[in-house]
Chain A
Amino acid sequence: DAKTTQPPSMDCAEGRAANLPCNHSTISGNEYVYWYRQIHSQGPQYIIHGLKNNETNEMASLIITEDRKSSTLILPHATLRDTAVYYCIVRPYHAGNMLTFGGGTRLMVKP
């Protein structure tokens, strides 16, 4: 799986948008970008994934650059409950591949 690079930590004010960047310059054509988060002591939670088009769901939006070498996860209106470690993972779509977790970004949402 391609390697990803994320800032170790970020702060965000409650109610504002949180923009979490991820670099994946070695991504290959069949690899998707996945985002998970881990709220303290809980199991990781799937957020969103995409291949090359921007994606949006009830939790977040994913913006992938045209060259697919980087992406941004956007939480449009961050709440205190969004405080977590966010992991950007690149992997092929099909099952049978484990997820390789890097260090992630520790997002602190502040009141």
Chain B
Amino acid sequence: DAMVIQNPRYQVTQFGKPVTLSCSQTLNHNVMYWYQQKSSQAPKLLFHYYDKDFNNEADTPDNFQSRRPNTSFCFLDIRSPGLGDAAMYLCATSLGRGNQPQHFGDGTRLSIL
């Protein structure tokens, strides 16, 4: 089945230690998104790639970066995680940016020690 896969499902890192979260897709969608979701909150878009074109949300901290080496993979890099970055990180894909639903992975739960 075509799907969106996030690895790892759970990630623990130390305060200030860089961490990378991974997302891959077999849907061949040209748009990939990264969301941050904290407990009882709405998912919040961090940035997205339309093909290789990177689109950052205005309020996304500089601490968060992303890479998309090819259509199938997208990475979220947190350069110096703080305690406030502990959250669920969701990757999603869509076929274009029009009226198309986004398809989500199961997320990576990030904990900061």
**Chains A and B belong together in one complex:** no
Residues of chain B whose beta carbon lies under 8 Å from any beta carbon of chain A? none
Report A's interface with B, CB cutoff 8 A.
none
